[in-house]
Amino acid sequence: MDIYLQAAIAEARKGLEEGGIPIGSVLVIDGEIVGRGRNRRVQKGSAILHAEMDCLENAGRLSAAEYRRATLYSTLSPCDMCSGAILLYGIPRVVAGENRTFHGPETYLRSRNVELLVLDDPECAALMKDFIAAHPALWNEDIGV
Amino acid sequence: MDIYLQAAIAEARKGLEEGGIPIGSVLVIDGEIVGRGRNRRVQKGSAILHAEMDCLENAGRLSAAEYRRATLYSTLSPCDMCSGAILLYGIPRVVAGENRTFHGPETYLRSRNVELLVLDDPECAALMKDFIAAHPALWNEDIGV
């Protein structure tokens, strides 16, 4: 399996162990993981720390030139907020583990020239399917429903 | 002047005093300010704490029903990331102080049924115009340029 998706899944599993929502993300530049993150709504009482946002925050302040060489991995199809962050920074490539359990604005991302690959990974989908079944209210809160 | 825009400007000025980028934001529900924020890229070394994001974070975890009664004020037209957060949470109304110094995806926000009012406030515009002239590289970093 893709080593970067594997690193994102490791973040998702860490989140699950902490009692959080199991979504993980890594930012890769020139083959190197420069940031890792996981959804921390529960852990930090946060409304903005989706996995991809936490990952971008942990990667620190980067230049536009760095973002333009980056690929953002997420175990799940990025939501409106995280897609917006991808657009703000001009991150050209996104790899999502799956989009069966949640479907972000993929068409819009592509219309703004982001290359988006959805891997349909069964491990990512199983993590979310089990979590949503066990914690539907928390999941709805996380996606503004 | 609109008391909520005034509160957002107060946040922007606080940010400027801290050495930060002078953009402020407040979240209003049922006439009450439930969150305040300011751009904290400099102050916290943050890639995600634009004013609106800081404001949403400071407002804490809210329900979809609360967001649906909210108005988000910002001294500046919201960028792709902050617009995405507005869409994620279904915030129906946005009031921006100005869009002369930066223009977010306003057409897209409106196409997704967000009511967006731009006040063209001279104080908001002057704050940003002066800041951008003094710190162009920092400003470019903040908008991914």
pLDDT given at position B26: 98
Is the Cβ pair B48, A143 closer than 8 Å? no
Question: Tokens 């162009």 identify what position?
Answer: B136
B9 band by pLDDT with thresholds 50, 70 and 90: very high
Distance from CA of A66 to the nearest CA of B (A): 10
Task: Tell me how far CA of residue B103 lies from CA of A59, B78, B120, B133, in angstroms.
Answer: 26, 8, 12, 17
The beta-strand segments (E) located in chain B are 24-29, 32-38, 70-74, 93-96, 115-118
Q: Return the closest-CA partner of residue A24 out of A2, A47, A5.
A: A5
Is the Cβ pair A79, B59 closer than 8 Å? no
pLDDT given at position A13: 98
Cα dihedral B90→A141→A122→A94 (10° resolution)? 40
B137 touching chain A per CB within 8 A: no
pTM listed for this prediction: 0.98
CATH number of the domain bearing residue A38: 3.40.140.10
pLDDT given at position A34: 98
User: Which residues of chain A have a pLDDT value below 70?
Assistant: 1
B136 touching chain A per CB within 8 A: no
Structural domain count, chain B: 1
d(CA B14, CA B17): 5
What percentage of chain B carries pLDDT values higher than 70? 99
CB B71 within 8 A of CB B94: yes
Indicate the average pLDDT of chain B.
98
Question: Tokens 């903040």 identify what position?
Answer: B142
Taking only residues 75 to 104 of chain B, the set having a beta carbon closer than 8 angstroms to any beta carbon of chain A reads 79-85, 87-90
d(CA A90, CA A67): 6
CB A34 within 8 A of CB A27: yes
pLDDT given at position A68: 98
Tokens at B119, concatenated? 């006040």
Distance from CA of B80 to the nearest CA of A (A): 5
Q: What is the mean pLDDT of residues B26-38?
A: 98
pLDDT at B22 over 80: yes
pLDDT given at position B98: 98
Q: Structural domain of residue B65, as residue ranges? A: 3-143
Of A46, A59, A83, the CB nearest to B84: A83
Q: Angle at the Cα of A84 (from A46 to A95), degrees rounded to 5?
A: 95
